[in-house]
Chain A
C-alpha cells in the first residue's frame, strides 16, 4: 500500500487554513510531499467564497464583522460556505493516485471514500451524480443551498460539499461536512433577515450529522472512519505527520501576502456566476 500523510486536526483562522491547504498543494505539486489528508476547524467561524465569486454581491462584510465571522476567498471553485459547526477536510493528491483523472471521476471516487466513512457512522448518505439544473434564486449563493453534481446528500438534502483546485496533474480537494446546521445563523452571516420562510427554505435543502443521527457528533468520532474510507478507495495508508518547516514557511507567506489581503479576498473584477 502506498503511503500518505495525515496531518493532525487543528483549529485556526480562515486565512491560515486556506494558506495551509495551498502550501500543501504547492508542496505536492513540486514533488516534495506525499498525498496528504487533513481535517480541520475554523476559529473564529468564517465564510469562504469561491475563487471567482464576486465579493460584494455574495457576502455582507458588515454582517460578518457584527457576528465575528471571518471572510476569506478560497483557491477552489464553488460558492459561499459558512464554516462553523462543521468538519473541514482537504485532500491533496495527483492524477496517478488512483482517484481517476477527470474532475467528475475524482469527485466521484473521493465521495465513495467519504460515503463509506459516513456509513460506518450510521449515516446513509448518497452521491448526487446526475445533472442538476441549479436555480437562480439568491439562496443558491450559499454553497450548501445549491446542489450540484458529485455532492453528498441525505434524503435529498446536502450534508457535505466539496471543491477543487487542479494544476498540472495535482489536485487539492477540500470540503465541508456539516455537524450541525442553523439556518438563521447562515442567513444572518450572509446579511439576510432570517424570516421563518427563508429558514424553512434552507432547512429543506440542507442537513447535518446532528439532524440525521439525532445527537451531537464530535470531531474525534468523525475523523477515523472518514480516514479509513478514503484510505481504502485510494489504496493509501495515511500515516500521521506534520507540515515540514518549508511548508510552514509557505503558510506564513501565503497567509500574509494572499489570504489576509483585500486584493485577494475582495477582488472585484470577477463577475458573478
Chain B
C-alpha cells in the first residue's frame, strides 16, 4: 500500500510535509528495486540540494546508485541512525528508514511530484 499522506517522485522517493519542511525517504517499491542496503552516503546538514541532481549515494547488493534530489532546498537534518543501521531503509522505508529532512525553496511544489494515486499507478499497484 502506498501511504496517502505524502507525495512521490518517479525515482521512488517519498516526501512528507511537516510544517514548512519535507521529510524524504525511499519508497517500499524503491527499496525493493535496490535490494539489501549496506551503506548510505547522505548529504551533510546545511548542504544545499538541487532538484534532479545527486544528493546521496546508496550501496546495495554491491551496486552504488545515486539518489536524485526531489526538490531544491537545504538539508536541516540527516537520519544518523542509517549510518549504523542502513537496513532500516529496507525494513521500515516509510518510517524509521527516512533519509533527510529538508527546508525546501518556496517554489518546491513546481517540481514534478506525484500523488499517492499517481505513484501507485506508476508502480502498478
A residues with a Cβ closer than 8 A to B are: 50-52, 75-78, 101-104, 107, 131, 148-150, 161-168, 270-271, 273
Contact = CB atoms under 8 A, between A and B. Distances in A.
Contacts of A161: 62
B83 to A, nearest CB: 6
A167 B61 CA distance: 15
Contacts of A103: 33-35, 60-61, 63, 65
Given A77-B59, A167-B54, A51 B33 contact: no
Nearest to A101: B33
Given A52-B41, A273-B39, A163 B66 contact: no
Interface of B: 33-36, 38-39, 41, 54, 57, 59-66, 68, 83
Given A52-B57, A162-B62, 17 more contacts: A50-B59, A52-B41, A52-B64, A77-B39, A77-B62, A102-B33, A102-B35, A103-B33, A103-B60, A104-B61, A163-B63, A163-B64, A164-B64, A166-B65, A166-B66, A167-B54, A168-B68
Secondary structure of the B side of the interface? strand
Nearest to A163: B62
Secondary structure of the A side of the interface? loop
Contacts of B64: 51-52, 75-77, 163-166
18 contacts: A50-B62, A77-B60, A77-B63, A102-B35, A103-B35, A104-B61, A148-B61, A149-B35, A149-B36, A163-B62, A164-B62, A164-B64, A164-B65, A166-B63, A167-B54, A167-B65, A270-B41, A273-B38
